């Protein structure tokens, strides 16, 4: 993860935590309530939390949150789908 990506994700996390929308009712990327910055890290039309999800080489999905990412070592949690990884975001990080 680059320094710019870490900075952007930290910014997004702060924006999400300060947002007026309730937990688990987050906007999708491209919606007016979702920061434009999220479009750089996630697919338009998916939950804005997908910005914190990445696809691993083995086809599973990981979490980019600092607690889980562990410098990209793939020792963090693994999920079968982006939807599972987004549920993880809701439960563990937001």
In the prediction, which pLDDT does 71 show? 66
The pLDDT tens digits along the chain (94 residues) read: 889 999 999 999 999 999 988 766 899 999 999 999 999 999 999 999 999 999 998 999 999 998 898 766 667 899 999 999 999 999 999 8
Structure tokens at 69: 């990412």
SS3 57: coil
In the prediction, which pLDDT does 69 show? 86
Name the DSSP class of 91: I
Q: Are 92 and 13 in contact (CB under 8 A)?
A: no
DSSP string, 52-79: GEEE-TTS-EEE-SHHHHGGGTS-S--B
In the prediction, which pLDDT does 73 show? 66
Q: Are 15 and 70 in contact (CB under 8 A)?
A: no
């Amino acid at each position: 993860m680059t320094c710019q990506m870490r900075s952007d994700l930290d910014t997004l996390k702060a924006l999400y935590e300060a947002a007026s929308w309730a937990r688990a009712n987050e906007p999708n990327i491209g919606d007016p309530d979702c920061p434009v910055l999220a479009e750089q890290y996630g697919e338009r039309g998916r939950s804005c939390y997908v910005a914190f999800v990445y696809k691993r080489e083995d086809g599973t999905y990981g979490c980019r949150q600092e607690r889980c990412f562990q410098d990209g070592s793939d020792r963090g949690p693994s999920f079968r789908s982006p939807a599972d990884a987004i549920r993880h975001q809701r439960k563990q990080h937001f």
